[in-house]
């Protein structure tokens, strides 16, 4: 992938970046559309059900965070191996990371089976929706192994330079999901459907389909491997060593989000519901950021593996500015349409106004979110997973949790306080990560 890239001009580099990132952006965008539609469908049942599903998904997000973090180590090592032309080594790493993903998925499934109700009670789920929430949680999260496999298979393909296949699978899986969602939630013909339980089954079914489809495509790729033959633990420690800080980072981030979500729940159900609805809309802006972060991890990793440190640094900067432009434009749209966004989900005027406040504040945070996402990906591609971890520890547990406690519970700023704290966190985080990337790549170049 790196052949012929060195010495190309900025315009050519932008083309390379977009060719790699756009399929991932489309895939993530479709995934977000599904979450958006899921929330829209459940909101037709009632706002309490939205809160129950939101609380459940806040816990599941911790599982997903660990799967994604393990994928960072996989992506970084495979990208560097492909950059250095070590395809057999890349295949061995892909196989080992798959078995690690299976083990982690089974562990989280067991945790869900044993502790679903206590976890939801801790989140403050109201008694009248707790039973349905527990069923939703168990259906979605006991088979976590399929979500884990979808994540690792997608990461393997992307790090080898194939972002189109995960996108194609994502298109079909998401279309199936929307159809199943509607049928299983609301029913068909004379059947009334299963409500939020139907939403859970729709999610689980498409994850099984997605994992199977990605595995089939993986076996046709440049990094295909025999799953049950020639297994080796040679790369287990390197994968865990590289992914460890990323896992800690994601766990700290999700646990922090879980904690301050609990604080928001204590302010009021309406405030928490508006926070969830605004968050669902806000998440659209992350799609180009996440897609470009994948490109940053892959391209920086490739060029570091090929000992082209200067090109690696330049790619990181080019990708960062592309993300700032994309996400800055989305921020403008958020600000312009904030007053009507909440009405897509509910007729409650108070909730609609709180959603608008959140989106207006979030609009100004978009450039900082862009920088922090892309530069974190670039650092991980270069093998530095500790700097993003440090930024998350400070951002979540010092800035966000303390800030929400002071602004929301002490100064009574409500939903505005939540989003102001979010913006300040990303602004400070982007400055720190950019400083670390410049310093690390300069040190690498000097060596």
Confidence (pLDDT) at 6:
45
Kindly tell me if the per-residue pLDDT of 424 is higher than 90: yes
**Span 129-146, average pLDDT:** 86
**pLDDT > 70 fraction of the chain, expressed in percent and rounded:** 90
For residue 1, is it within any domain? Answer: no
For residue 3, is it within any domain? Answer: no
Indicate the pLDDT class of residue 329, thresholds 50, 70 and 90. Answer: very high
Confidence (pLDDT) at 35:
62
Residue 17 DSSP symbol: H
For residue 364, is it within any domain? Answer: yes
Q: What pTM did the predictor assign?
A: 0.69
Confidence (pLDDT) at 114:
93
For residue 428, is it within any domain? Answer: yes
For residue 4, is it within any domain? Answer: no
Q: With 0-12 CB in 10 A as exposed, 13-18 as middle and 19+ as buried, what is 106?
A: middle
C-alpha separations of 291 from 20, 26, 57, 252 in Å:
8, 8, 22, 23
Indicate the pLDDT class of residue 1, thresholds 50, 70 and 90. Answer: very low
Indicate the pLDDT class of residue 356, thresholds 50, 70 and 90. Answer: confident
Confidence (pLDDT) at 167:
84
For residue 2, is it within any domain? Answer: no
More confident residue, 261 or 423: 423
Kindly tell me if the per-residue pLDDT of 250 is higher than 90: no
More confident residue, 35 or 345: 345
**Span 216-229, average pLDDT:** 84
Beta bridge partners of 191: 188
Indicate the pLDDT class of residue 33, thresholds 50, 70 and 90. Answer: low
CA–CA separation, 6 and 237 (whole Å): 32
Domain encompassing residue 158: 10-446
Kindly tell me if the per-residue pLDDT of 215 is higher than 90: yes
Indicate the pLDDT class of residue 31, thresholds 50, 70 and 90. Answer: low
Name the token pair of 321. 């500015």
CA–CA separation, 306 and 158 (whole Å): 18
In the predicted model, what is the mean pLDDT of the chain?
A: 81
CA–CA separation, 431 and 428 (whole Å): 5
The least confident of 17-31, 345-359, 392-406 is 17-31
The least confident of 28-37, 42-51, 308-317 is 28-37
More confident residue, 306 or 208: 208
Indicate the pLDDT class of residue 444, thresholds 50, 70 and 90. Answer: low
For residue 175, is it within any domain? Answer: yes
**pLDDT > 90 fraction of the chain, expressed in percent and rounded:** 18
Convert 87-101 to b/e letters by CB count within 10 Å (16 or more is b).
eebbbbbbbbbbbbb
**Span 127-142, average pLDDT:** 83
Cβ–Cβ < 8 Å for 151, 71: yes
Confidence (pLDDT) at 388:
86
The set of residues, in sequence order, having a beta carbon less than 8 Å from that of 272 and lying 6+ positions away, is 51, 54, 261, 264, 265
Cβ–Cβ < 8 Å for 185, 247: no
CA–CA separation, 35 and 58 (whole Å): 13
Which ranges of 306-400 would DSSP assign to H, the alpha helix? Answer: 309-341, 349-381, 386-392
* DSSP letters spanning 232-250: --TTHHHHHHHHHHHHHHH
For residue 118, is it within any domain? Answer: yes
Confidence (pLDDT) at 446:
53
Confidence (pLDDT) at 275:
80
């Amino acid at each position: 992938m790196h052949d012929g890239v060195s010495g190309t001009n900025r315009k050519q580099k932008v083309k390379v970046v977009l060719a790699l990132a756009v399929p991932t952006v489309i895939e993530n965008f479709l995934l977000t559309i599904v979450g958006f539609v899921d929330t829209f469908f459940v909101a037709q049942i009632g706002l309490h059900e939205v809160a129950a599903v939101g609380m459940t998904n806040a816990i599941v997000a911790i599982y997903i965070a660990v799967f994604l973090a393990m994928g960072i180590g996989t992506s970084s090592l495979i990208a560097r191996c492909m950059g250095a032309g070590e395809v057999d080594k890349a295949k061995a790493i892909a196989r080992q990371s798959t078995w690690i993903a299976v083990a982690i998925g089974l562990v989280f499934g067991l945790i869900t089976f044993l502790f679903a109700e206590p976890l939801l009670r801790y989140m403050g789920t109201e008694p009248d929706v707790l039973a349905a929430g527990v069923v939703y949680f168990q259906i979605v999260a006991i088979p976590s192994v399929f979500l884990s496999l979808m994540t690792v298979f997608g990461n393997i393909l992307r790090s080898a330079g194939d972002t189109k296949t995960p996108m194609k699978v994502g298109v079909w899986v998401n279309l199936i999901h929307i159809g199943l969602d509607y049928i299983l939630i609301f029913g068909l013909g004379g059947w009334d459907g299963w409500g939020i339980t139907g939403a859970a089954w729709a999610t689980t079914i498409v994850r099984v389909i997605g994992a199977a489809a990605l595995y089939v495509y993986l076996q046709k790729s440049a990094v295909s491997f025999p799953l049950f033959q020639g297994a080796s633990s040679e790369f287990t420690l390197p994968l865990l060593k590289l992914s460890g800080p990323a896992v800690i980072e994601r766990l700290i981030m999700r646990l922090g989000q879980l904690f301050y979500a609990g604080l928001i729940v204590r302010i009021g159900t309406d405030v928490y519901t508006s926070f969830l609805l605004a968050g669902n809309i806000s998440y659209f802006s992350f799609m180009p950021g996440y897609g470009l972060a994948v490109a940053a991890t892959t391209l920086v990793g490739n060029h570091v593996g090929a000992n082209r440190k200067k090109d690696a640094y330049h790619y990181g900067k080019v990708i960062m500015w592309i993300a700032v432009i994309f996400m800055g434009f989305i921020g403008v749209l958020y600000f312009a349409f904030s007053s009507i966004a909440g009405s897509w989900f509910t007729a409650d005027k108070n909730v609609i106004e709180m959603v608008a406040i959140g989106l207006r504040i979030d609009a100004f945070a978009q450039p900082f979110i862009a920088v922090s996402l892309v530069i974190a990906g670039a650092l991980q591609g270069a093998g530095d997973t500790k700097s993003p971890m440090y930024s998350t520890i400070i951002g979540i547990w010092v800035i966000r949790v303390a800030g929400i406690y002071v602004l929301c519970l002490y100064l009574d700023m409500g939903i505005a306080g939540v989003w102001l704290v979010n913006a300040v966190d990303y602004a400070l985080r982007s400055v720190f990560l950019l400083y670390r990337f410049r310093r690390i790549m300069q040190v690498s170049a000097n060596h």
